[in-house]
Amino acid sequence: MVCCASPIAATKVRSFLFYFSPDSPCQKINPLTKLITVLIVGTVAFIIENIYANLILLVIVCIGLAMARISSRFFKMALIGISGLLLVSTVAHALFSQIPGESVYLVFPWGTYITERTIHFVVIVYLRFLAASLITLIFLCTTRETDVVTALRFLRLPYAVCFVCSLSLRFISILVDDWWSIVQAQRARGMEFKGTLIARLKKLLGLSLPMITSAFRKVNDSNHAILARGFTLSNVRRTQIRQLRWSTPDYILLTLLTILLMAVIIAKYYGYLTFV
């Protein structure tokens, strides 16, 4: 007898960016809890001014990334792109900074210089933004835009605000879909994204114009679809299929996040997370 996997179990869930497994632990967590997680981890990352503490926080975020069970097919490209942009921005920031130190390694003609504290500062800034970017990326890869709107409605926000947020978040998914469609179409025509970094950037920049054109066309189509359905933001009692529920993983995660935030604030107050 041949046993086949259930088609329901094999069905993946579409998030903002990619498809992820329904067996992912993040699927069982309330979207409001995930949104709070992004805010708290980002706040902690920018409170900490110690390299080793930032590294520990980055390791914790990476552990969460492994537990999320996100497909590595497209996630690696997004991670490489984010890491590269953060590295370029932090290095550019170091070139125009004046952080005093005991040893001056390099002086630039425009008046800035690099010391040993500059190197520490650049590393800290890079680790900060990397941790905040990774936790945000986990959120975008394991959350649907409808879940975010449901969470906002759970907070009793006006429906007009939730609807605008829904359109904004949906626009992210549209851009991602258009980007991958254009890339795959160009590869089918024989374009190869190989060579030096400059050559790759030139090819990717050449794809930006059709992506923007396609995005505006889809926004216009969405506008016509909304008008055709007679959609209104007036006070209409709207119903929702999915109701948010708090579960044990939510309480555990929120408790750990609260302990982490309080511990970081106390350590910062007593000077244990200073710039070293």
Q: Which two tokens stand for residue 17?
A: 């960016």
pLDDT in the model for residue 137? 82
Indicate whether 87 belongs to any domain: yes
In a domain, 52, yes or no: yes
Do 117 and 99 meet the contact criterion of CB atoms below 8 Å apart?
yes
Output the tens digit of pLDDT for each of the chain's 276 residues.
334 444 444 567 777 767 766 777 777 788 888 889 999 999 998 888 888 888 899 899 888 888 887 766 666 666 766 777 777 777 777 777 777 777 777 787 877 778 777 778 888 888 888 888 888 888 888 887 778 777 887 787 887 787 787 777 777 777 777 777 787 888 788 877 676 766 776 777 777 777 778 777 877 887 788 778 777 766 556 666 666 778 888 889 889 999 989 998 888 888 777 655
**Residue 204 lies inside a defined structural domain of this protein:** no
* Cβ neighbours, 10 Å, residue 90: 19
The pLDDT, as a whole number, for residue 255 is: 92
- 257 found inside a domain: yes
Query: How far apart (Å, rounded) are the C-alpha atoms in residues 36 and 261?
Result: 12
Q: Is the pTM of this model over 0.75?
A: no
Could you give the CA distance from residue 179 to residue 218 in angstroms, rounded to a whole number? 13
Q: Does 47 map to a domain?
A: yes
* CA-based torsion, 249, 258, 134, 172: positive or negative: positive
Q: Is residue 95 part of a domain?
A: yes
Nearest Cα neighbor of 135 from 71, 74, 52, 68 is 68
Residue 190 lies in a domain: no
Total domains present in the chain:
1
98 domain residue, yes or no: yes
Domain, as residue range, for 269: 36-142+252-276
d(CA 15, CA 138): 10
CA distance 270 to 52: 17
pLDDT value of position 3 = 43
